[in-house]
A = this chain, B = another copy of it.
Amino acid sequence: MFPGRDTGAPAGPPAATAVFTAVLTEGPASRVALARRLGLSSAAVTKAARPLIDLGYLHELAATERTGPGAGRPASPLAVRAEREFFIGVKITADELIGVVCDLRAQVRATARRPLNDPDVDAVLGEVGRLADDLLNAFPGDRARISRLGLALSGDIDRTTGLVRYSPFLHWRNVPLGPLAARRTGLTVTVENDVKALTAAEHWFGEGVGAESFALVTVGTGIGCGLVVNGRLVSGSNGVAGEIGHIAVDAAGPDCHCGGRGCVESIAGTDAIVWQARDRTGRPDLTIDEAVALARGGHEQVRAVFTRAGNAIGCGIAAVANLVGPTRIVVSGEGLAAYDLFDSHIRTSFERQAFGAAARCPLSIRPLPFEEWARGAAAVSIQSLVLP
């Protein structure tokens, strides 16, 4: 996280942070309910909430709903004032920047894109700056309420220092992207790995809300996984974690670019699917879209490629379920545009391979609008405001 001008953050005593995150992620709740939920006295919640209300982060809802049996003073639930502050999120890909503006509740309020032609650090910083300007212009609300920018990109990222240790597609090593972007934009910047950012978004604002442990699997060119265990994002001691794509699921499978054999990605990654489909059809220029079309059209050989891919993904997901036992798993990513071809195979092989009660772990399989990646970046930025 890297400083621009600061607006006076809601970070305070632990109780204040706890109250704010609870209301932010779990929705409006009365002080008594929060006290029960957080193991605090209601007096403590009252005290923690006041400065948050004064700063405009929380407000009291009109007491509409009666909860109890009937008698008693009605509750005045605390709710987040979503428009108190806005956040820019930018996903950096090899050839494009995708940007969004989100409110405090991570609702997207504006979007914009810019092509990226040059992976040079300065060029990328320039485009990021221009995209931020575009977003500020497109944003209908009060620009002064935007002071934070989240960046997300694939690779090995050190969130605390904002350092890009290694980015394969930009060919960057040890680029201090956080500080550089902060200087450039004057905003407080966070940088995070894209899959982890998406996981954070899902954990705070999506299906992972309330889950002590939770996994998000992304399927596309790469196959990755973000993990939340015991309420915290897993980082991996060598910067490696969630590499579900390189779990071996087939001893007789193809060699993978990582040096392994039978990796999930070498069977179910977009490139792997294309190669296999070309092989089966004898058409060396087949694209992924054409392969999907053939499979949907009933081409048995190509369908089999997707079946095999779905099975491999299912095995990988089962490995996650068997090892960490998440409360739920979300499967998503560009690759799931071909949702219909994968879904049932993923589920079948997951259920076969998940051990005992692990098979009860609910699986959400759904495609992912590309802006969602940028929203993940914004979500990390929101977290950086809330957490100490």
Give me the interface of A with B, judged by CB distance under 8 Å: 156, 211-213, 225, 227, 229-230, 232, 234-253, 258-263, 311, 315, 318-327, 352-353, 355-358, 360-361
Contacts and interface: CB of A to CB of B under 8 A. Distances in A.
Given A212-B237, A243-B355, A318-B247, A230 B232 contact: yes
Contacts of A355: 240, 243, 245-246, 258, 260
Contact of A361 (B238, B322, B352, B358): B238
Contact of A230 (B230, B244, B258): B230
A323 B244 contact: yes
Given A248-B249, A249-B249, A250-B251, A325 B229 contact: no
Query: For the complex formed by this chain, how many copies does it contain in all?
Result: 2
25 contacts: A229-B229, A229-B324, A230-B234, A234-B325, A238-B357, A239-B325, A240-B321, A240-B325, A240-B355, A241-B324, A241-B325, A243-B323, A243-B358, A246-B322, A246-B355, A248-B353, A250-B250, A251-B253, A251-B315, A258-B356, A260-B318, A260-B353, A260-B355, A261-B353, A323-B324
Nearest to A165: B357
B324 A236 contact: yes
Nearest to A361: B238
Given A156-B357, A236-B325, A320-B323, 5 more contacts: A237-B327, A238-B360, A243-B322, A250-B251, A251-B311
Contacts of A227: 323-324
Nearest to A326: B237
Nearest to A356: B240
A227 to B, nearest CB: 7
A164 to B, nearest CB: 15
A235 B324 CA distance: 7
Contact of A323 (B230, B242, B260, B315): B242
> 8 tightest A-B contacts by CB?
A236-B325, A238-B357, A243-B322, A246-B355, A250-B251, A240-B358, A241-B325, A237-B327
Given A247-B322, A252-B252, A352 B259 contact: yes
A253 B323 CA distance: 20
Nearest to A351: B259
A208 B357 CA distance: 28
B323 A323 contact: yes
A212 B325 CA distance: 19
B352 A247 contact: no
A357 B239 contact: yes
A324 B251 contact: no
Nearest to A213: B237
B237 A361 contact: yes
Contacts of A357: 156, 238-240
A324 B324 contact: yes
A69 to B, nearest CB: 30
